[in-house]
């Protein structure tokens, strides 16, 4: 070939080592070459983890553009950084013989922290993070970005126990510290340790030359790993590991999918004869998908999207599964409950008529008294869930309504007597006692529990907030603005929300599930 082959590469030290290796092999075959360094987004933006950059092929996109503009003839990549689907017009031209596939732990001082409860490990990889937490769930993971040298320096400068690197990168730069060892138990990223060359599909001459330095066994192994990754629809933002290798006319694949926190792990291993390697990736991907992988991947995809709904009450996993696919929710308890101590005088004499408007009041009563001490003649409730809880724990409920106002209006007409004891919070709506007092019914308040505000500042992507009581609304307002939709569990909550929000929506029945249904209706 008479023309000079222009080799496009990132300008990091490791990328240049890879490009020079390709250059050396091509020139050994008699071809003239020139290295063309290009800076990528992944090299420029070092203050964010890769999965937060929001770009597919963060380390390859710039080189792809240069190739399509015919500014370079080939591009050299770390294969693990390349998206599984290449841009139209660009194809894989060759894969060099693979280097060390393993991840490597570089540590400070000693390895004793591995057997200790508390330790701090640095990595910018979700895969490494998830596998480490799966094995060492009490350890803390901190982010780490930059080239290999800068990451080693950050490890030196910070009070961390260790950091995880690709063993191949450390070895290729000849900077692997003595205080290090390979993590044989950690499944590497698909195609880790492999160097890939891409070229234009239409450039037949360049493709033919690159084929001369292609390593077939590495090509087979990495293609299986990348097909597995593609079938799980994973990328840099998913904790996926895969390692294939060819030995004695057989192909072995070990692969794993984990949750972000490492608490869930689905793993597969399979061996087939070399002539059947085309089926290996699909079998292993299907195996993981059928064992909960699809649900886990769906959750991972949502985790990478902006949160658009916030619940002021912590939701269970089952409740989270009820949301529409376009809903990405977060939740926390915006109020904290502290049960009060009540003296025996509260029950002397035993109240005839009792009002209970929440499960918290029931729990406060049962904390202070035995159920047999709470045999009130008439119990009045707000909400069907509260009613069921009272009847399970204390005794028969005479009457229940969906909100406090409706219960007050009922009592004005039908109460047996002229006095009622109201077990309530220190923060409550005055509507119920006010209506009763106005109609000459004496209300004896007993503060059974205290409600403490514990709101958090929500981010700007939130479109709606789920509220379950007037106090959750009041707590929310302490930290946040009112430019969201208020999804409310009932009319009393909605009345308080209406003081602050322009768009207030009320669930059909006073349950968390009904509020979720209300949210789903909006997103549909």
More confident site: 65 or 446: 446
Given a cut of 90, is residue 477 above it in pLDDT?
Answer: yes
Residue 510, beta-bridge partner list: none
Cα separation, 238 vs 130, whole angstroms: 10
pLDDT at residue 460, as a whole number: 86
Cα separation, 273 vs 179, whole angstroms: 39
Give the single-character DSSP code of 197. E
The overall pTM is greater than 0.85? no
pLDDT at residue 491, as a whole number: 87
Other CB atoms within 10 A of residue 304 CB = 16
pLDDT at residue 50, as a whole number: 34
Write the CA distances from 369 to 7, 342, 362, 373, integer angstroms: 81, 9, 10, 6
Q: Which of 417, 419, 422, 381 is nearest to 398 (CA)?
A: 381
pLDDT at residue 46, as a whole number: 39
Other CB atoms within 10 A of residue 21 CB = 16
Given a cut of 90, is residue 252 above it in pLDDT?
Answer: yes
Sketch out the chain's domains with CATH numbers: 1-95+190-214 (3.40.190.10), 103-182 (3.40.190.10), 216-304 (3.30.160.40), 305-334+454-523 (3.40.50.10090), 336-453 (3.40.50.10090)
Contacts of 359 by beta carbon, 8 Å cutoff, 6+ apart:
385, 386, 389
The string of pLDDT tens digits covering residues 404-417 is 889 999 999 999 89
pLDDT at residue 302, as a whole number: 66
pLDDT at residue 40, as a whole number: 56
SS3 at position 413: helix
Please state the three-class secondary structure of 325-390 as a single string.
CCCCEEECCCEEEEECCCCHHHHCCCCCEEEECCHHHHHHHHHHCCHHHHCCCEEEEECHHHHHHH
Given a cut of 90, is residue 377 above it in pLDDT?
Answer: yes
Whole-number CA gyration radius for the chain: 32
Taking each helix axis from N to C end, the angle separating 431-438 and 404-414, rounded to the nearest 10 degrees, works out to: 20
Contacts of 416 by beta carbon, 8 Å cutoff, 6+ apart:
352, 353, 377, 378
pLDDT at residue 44, as a whole number: 37
Given a cut of 80, is residue 304 above it in pLDDT?
Answer: no
Average pLDDT over residues 489-494: 89
Catalytic residue annotation: 81
Is residue 464 a contact partner of residue 486, using CB atoms and an 8 Å limit? Answer: yes
pLDDT at residue 459, as a whole number: 87
Given a cut of 50, is residue 55 above it in pLDDT?
Answer: no
| Both tokens assigned to 237 | 């933002």
pLDDT at residue 235, as a whole number: 52
Write the CA distances from 436 to 355, 384, 401, 444, 491, integer angstroms: 12, 22, 15, 11, 19
Given a cut of 80, is residue 236 above it in pLDDT?
Answer: no
Q: Which of 515, 489, 487 is nearest to 501 (CA)?
A: 487
The string of pLDDT tens digits covering residues 143-173 is 888 888 889 999 999 999 999 999 999 999 9
Buried b vs exposed e over 243-280: b needs ≥16 C-beta within 10 Å?
bbbbeeeebbbbbbbbbbebebebebebebeeeebeeb
Write the CA distances from 108 to 144, 162, 179, integer angstroms: 16, 6, 7
| Both tokens assigned to 152 | 């080693």
DSSP conformation letters of 36-78: EEE--HHHH--SS-GGGS--TTTTTHHHHHHHHTTS-SEEEEE
Q: Which of 16, 68, 65 is nearest to 37 (CA)?
A: 16
| Both tokens assigned to 3 | 């023309």
Please state the three-class secondary structure of 85-120 as a single string.
CCCCCEEEEEECCCCCCCEEEEECCCCHHHHCCCCE
Average pLDDT over residues 217-244: 88
pLDDT at residue 227, as a whole number: 95
Is residue 91 a contact partner of residue 37, using CB atoms and an 8 Å limit? Answer: no
Given a cut of 60, is residue 448 above it in pLDDT?
Answer: yes
Average pLDDT over residues 285-289: 95
Average pLDDT over residues 468-475: 92
What's the chain's average pLDDT?
Answer: 90
Given a cut of 70, is residue 138 above it in pLDDT?
Answer: yes
Q: Which of 31, 47, 59, 55 is nearest to 211 (CA)?
A: 31
Q: Which strand (E) or helix (H) includes residue 476?
A: helix 470-477
Write the CA distances from 233 to 72, 239, 285, 294, integer angstroms: 30, 12, 10, 10
Taking each helix axis from N to C end, the angle separating 280-288 and 216-231, rounded to the nearest 10 degrees, works out to: 30
Average pLDDT over residues 51-68: 62
- For the ranges 18-22, 427-431, 462-466, 492-496, which has the lowest average pLDDT? 427-431
pLDDT at residue 431, as a whole number: 84
pLDDT at residue 237, as a whole number: 65
Given a cut of 80, is residue 282 above it in pLDDT?
Answer: yes
SS3 at position 213: coil
440 sits in the region (left: phi over 0; alpha: psi -120 to 50; else beta) called left
pLDDT at residue 305, as a whole number: 67
pLDDT at residue 307, as a whole number: 81
ω into 349 cis (within 30 of 0): yes
Average pLDDT over residues 185-194: 96
E-strand stretches of 259-301: 265-273
Cα separation, 23 vs 30, whole angstroms: 11
Please state the three-class secondary structure of 125-151 as a single string.
CHHHHHHHHHHCCCCEEECCCCCHHHH
Question: Quick one: what percent of the chain has pLDDT higher than 90?
Answer: 72
Contacts of 225 by beta carbon, 8 Å cutoff, 6+ apart:
190, 191, 242, 243, 244, 253, 255, 281
């Amino acid at each position: 070939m008479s023309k000079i082959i222009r080799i496009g590469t990132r300008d990091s030290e490791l990328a240049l080592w890879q490009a020079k290796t390709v250059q050396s092999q091509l020139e050994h075959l008699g071809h003239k070459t020139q290295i063309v360094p290009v800076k990528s987004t992944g090299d420029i933006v070092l203050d964010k983890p890769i999965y937060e950059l929001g770009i597919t092929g963060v380390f390859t996109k710039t080189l792809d553009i240069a190739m399509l503009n015919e500014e370079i003839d080939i591009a050299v990549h770390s294969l693990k950084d390349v998206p599984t689907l290449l841009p139209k017009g660009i194809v894989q031209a060759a894969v060099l013989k693979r280097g060390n596939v393993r991840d490597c732990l570089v540590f400070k001082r000693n390895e004793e922290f591995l057997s200790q409860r508390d330790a701090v490990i640095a990595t910018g990889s979700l895969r490494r993070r998830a596998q480490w937490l799966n094995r060492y769930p009490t350890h803390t993971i901190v982010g780490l970005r930059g080239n290999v040298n800068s990451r080693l320096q950050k490890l030196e400068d910070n009070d961390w126990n260790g950091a995880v690197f690709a063993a191949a990168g450390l070895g290729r730069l000849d900077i692997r510290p003595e205080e290090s060892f390979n993590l044989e138990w950690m499944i590497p990223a698909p195609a880790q340790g492999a160097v890939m060359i891409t070229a234009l599909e239409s450039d037949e001459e360049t493709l033919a030359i690159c084929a001369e330095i292609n390593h077939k066994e590495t090509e087979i192994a990495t293609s299986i790993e990348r097909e597995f990754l593609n079938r799980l629809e994973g990328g840099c933002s998913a904790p996926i590991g895969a390692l294939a290798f060819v030995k004695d006319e057989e192909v072995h694949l070990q692969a794993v999918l984990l949750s972000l926190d490492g608490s869930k792990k689905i793993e597969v291993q399979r061996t087939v004869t070399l002539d059947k390697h085309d089926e290996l990736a699909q079998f292993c991907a299907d195996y993981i998908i059928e064992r909960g992988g699809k649900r886990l991947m769906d959750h991972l995809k949502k985790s990478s999207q902006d949160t658009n709904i916030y619940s002021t009450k912590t939701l269970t996993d089952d409740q989270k599964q009820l949301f529409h696919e376009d809903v990405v929710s977060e939740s926390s308890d915006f109020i904290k409950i502290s049960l009060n101590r009540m003296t025996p005088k509260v029950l002397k004499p035993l109240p005839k008529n009792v009002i209970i408007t929440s499960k918290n009041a029931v729990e406060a009563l049962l904390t202070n008294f035995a159920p047999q001490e709470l045999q009130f003649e008439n119990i009045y409730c707000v909400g069907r869930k509260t009613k069921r809880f009272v009847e399970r724990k204390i005794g028969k409920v005479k009457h229940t309504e969906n909100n406090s106002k409706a219960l007050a209006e009922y009592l004005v007409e039908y109460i047996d007597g002229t006095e009622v004891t109201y077990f309530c919070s220190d923060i409550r709506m005055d509507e119920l006692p006010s209506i009763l007092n106005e109609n000459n019914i004496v209300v004896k308040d007993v503060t059974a529990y205290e409600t403490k505000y514990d709101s958090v500042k929500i981010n700007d992507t939130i479109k709606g907030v789920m509220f379950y009581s007037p106090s959750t609304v009041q707590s929310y307002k302490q930290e946040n603005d009112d430019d969201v939709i208020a999804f409310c569990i009932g009319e009393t909550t909605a009345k308080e929300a209406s003081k602050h929000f322009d768009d207030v929506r009320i669930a059909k029945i006073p349950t968390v599930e009904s509020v979720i249904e209300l949210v789903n209706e909006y997103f549909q």
